[in-house]
Chains A and B, each alone.
Chain A
Amino acid sequence: MIYFKKVSKIFYPQTVALKDVNLHIRPKEFVSIVGQSGAGKSTLIKLLNAEESPDKGQITIGGWDITDINEKEVPLLRRQIGVVFQDFKLLPKKTVFENVAFALQVCGVSPRRISQIIPQVLKIVRMKDKADRYPHQLSGGEIQRAAIARALVHRPKILLADEPTGNLDSINAQDIIDLLLKINEFGTTVLLVTHNKDVVNRVKKRVVLLDEGQIVSDQEEGKYVL
């Protein structure tokens, strides 16, 4: 599903974020990308979301070579991937319903279809009763659940979660991880970027460890070991 072939990314002048990374992620996998700050975890997500482009190597998603993706194709790629960010990135002046709807509106989905889909998705993330609230009226965990709903609503095959528990307490963090596992069970490939040891160890899925931009370990049902 996702292939990284000898991918390197250098932030000029000389910060090597990724160096000759080879990685294959199969469909419906749950992969935790772990490592210390500056190891290149977020860069990996940014390359998949076309926020950055690689300096060397090749990246393909579902057979689509996105290495040199052009600007016009970027929105099309992003509509097929769901992304959950550490800082949530919800639109502050839109309600939960409107925030989730936005991901469908950019795809041109009809208002009727939107009003059918969103209650179902909000139900999955247990936010149905808070659909009319604005982000500032929600707790951290609720905001992240709303963000997950937005990332899921267009039924992406891949969900990228970049430190989704970074701003949450342990209870809310566990809640979000459980939600991601549930989404994975439905058949979505999940890439979880985190440096939270407890989270990774509890998930018991594939763990890819990055250090100084290189993959130093890749284990099925691995643990966070530095």
Chain B
Amino acid sequence: MFTSAFRIIKFAWQDFFRNFWLSFVTLTILVLALFSINLLIIFNFVAKSAIVSVEDKININLYFKPAISEDQVFNVQRYLQGLSQVKDVQYISKEQALENFKTKHKDDPKILASLDEIAQNPLGASLVIKAKSTSDYPLILENLSDPQYNNLIESKDFDDHKLVINRISGITQKVSTGVIVIALIFTLISILIIFNAIRMALYTHKEEITAMKLVGATNWFVRAPFLLQGVIFGILSLLITILVLYPLMGFIQPYLSLLLENNFNLVSYFNQNFVVIFGLELLGAILMNLISSYWAISKYIRV
């Protein structure tokens, strides 16, 4: 038993190195298949981060009538904070609003002069609402249409963002669907590539498999080294993919960070999900190799 196991391991390694170019080509195809899957994961992460980055900039400003008291504004704030769709509600007092206004128009003496002429704060308090998802904004506004809140509000700037929000919601949905479709296509292509690579590799061993069987080898004794080689191919291809992927991610990280302002970090994302991403890829690659090897050998082993 031990001798057989040792021989199977030895044959697998021996065949791997003695058919170096065949092993190299098979390995390259597997690496390319795994690499394309990882590129898809990167694309998915970048697309989602880009959407989050844009979504972060969207909010609703509720401008209250100047006569409304702070307590009334706080009531609305508490109500909004109680809504499940709301992520955050920030209060901006009348004074803060005036201060912000002045800062914003510090280079416009006419506006500043008009303010001085009025001699009192014409601005009311406001609330800045951030929703958990862009699709939640219409629902939040619907809640605010209740007269007990609506009568306190002078204006809402949501309508200005409505188009953008709708578009982003649409893009988010399309990207999610698109990523699923591309992922399925990529996975299918990868499966076919791996399947074909292993089949081609084993096709070159056709005569050898026949010869082994004719000198009295059992099906298992013939099969096992090739199956083990499938596992070796799976492990090596994943290791090479990781070795290529990390420097590449390190290289593109600064450029992507410039484009996406939120705390975007591709390498950390892969580090945090290392076990899930590469564990599943390893499992998938090995399983594919085993299934395709087993199936391909079955064709030649019936001697």
Q: A residues engaging B (CB < 8 A)?
A: 49, 51, 71, 75-79, 83, 85, 89-94, 102-103, 105-108, 110-111, 150, 154
Assess whether A91 is in contact with B212, with CB atoms less than 8 Å apart: yes
For A75, A93, A110, A150, the residue with the greatest tally of chain B CB atoms inside 10 Å of its CB is A75
Given A75-B216, A75-B218, A110-B3, 6 further pairs, Cβ under 8 A? A71-B219, A83-B214, A91-B211, A92-B207, A93-B19, A103-B216
User: Which residues in A have their C-beta under 8 angstroms from that of B18?
Assistant: 93
State whether the Cβ of B221 lies closer than 8 Å to any Cβ in chain A: yes
CA distance A110 to B4 in the complex (A): 10
Assess whether B3 is in contact with A108, with CB atoms less than 8 Å apart: yes
User: Which residues in B have their C-beta under 8 angstroms from that of A102?
Assistant: 212, 215, 217
Assess whether A103 is in contact with B3, with CB atoms less than 8 Å apart: no
Give, as a whole number of angstroms, the nearest-CB distance from A134 to chain B: 9
Among candidates A91, A106, A111, residue contacting B216 with C-beta atoms closer than 8 Å: A106
Assess whether B3 is in contact with A111, with CB atoms less than 8 Å apart: yes
Give, as a whole number of angstroms, the nearest-CB distance from B207 to chain A: 7
Assess whether B216 is in contact with A107, with CB atoms less than 8 Å apart: yes
Assess whether A79 is in contact with B207, with CB atoms less than 8 Å apart: no
Give, as a whole number of angstroms, the nearest-CB distance from B171 to chain A: 55
CA distance A87 to B219 in the complex (A): 22
Assess whether B212 is in contact with A106, with CB atoms less than 8 Å apart: yes
Q: List 17 A-B contacts (CB under 8 A).
A: A49-B214, A71-B219, A78-B215, A78-B216, A83-B215, A85-B214, A89-B207, A89-B211, A89-B214, A91-B211, A92-B208, A93-B14, A93-B15, A93-B19, A102-B212, A106-B212, A150-B215
User: Which residues in A have their C-beta under 8 angstroms from that of B208?
Assistant: 91-93
User: Which residues in B have their C-beta under 8 angstroms from that of A93?
Assistant: 14-15, 18-19, 208
Assess whether A79 is in contact with B216, with CB atoms less than 8 Å apart: yes
User: Which residues in A have their C-beta under 8 angstroms from that of B219?
Assistant: 71
Assess whether B3 is in contact with A51, with CB atoms less than 8 Å apart: no
CA distance A63 to B99 in the complex (A): 109
Assess whether A89 is in contact with B210, with CB atoms less than 8 Å apart: yes
User: Which residues in A have their C-beta under 8 angstroms from that of B211?
Assistant: 89-91
B165-188 residues with Cβ-Cβ distance < 8 A to A are none
B216-249 residues with Cβ-Cβ distance < 8 A to A are 216-219, 221
CA distance A2 to B180 in the complex (A): 65
Give, as a whole number of angstroms, the nearest-CB distance from A154 to chain B: 8
User: Which residues in B have their C-beta under 8 angstroms from that of A106?
Assistant: 212, 215-218, 221
State whether the Cβ of B303 lies closer than 8 Å to any Cβ in chain A: yes
Assess whether A105 is in contact with B7, with CB atoms less than 8 Å apart: yes
Closest to B207 in A: A89
